[in-house]
Amino acid sequence: MGCSIVVDSRLCKGCGICVELCPARALELSKELSPSGYRNPVQTGKCVGCRTCEMFCPDFAIAVVCNGKGSA
């Protein structure tokens, strides 16, 4: 099953913390800009479900979903 990340493009300001801190290097910033003008993260690799991106997301814009479940 594995895990995936959900990004709320309304809240993301493209700071890149999630991309830089992801130990699995599973994220990249998108080439396209969000409606608010930011480059949002997109999942490009396998998410290990450590939730580092969630904890360090300063804009409450990321949720990690593992086996259909969000954060406990």
Closest CA to 2 of 62, 48, 51: 48
What's the CA gap between 31 and 52, in Å, rounded?
23
Name the DSSP class of 43. Answer: E
Residue numbers of the site for other proteins (CB under 8 A)?
A: 6, 8, 10-11, 13-17, 19-21, 36, 38, 54-65, 68, 70-72
CB of 46 to other proteins, least distance (A): 18
Please say which residue, 29 or 46, places its beta carbon nearer to other proteins.
Answer: 29
Tokens of 35: 């409606």
CB of 24 to other proteins, least distance (A): 15
CB of 54 to other proteins, least distance (A): 6
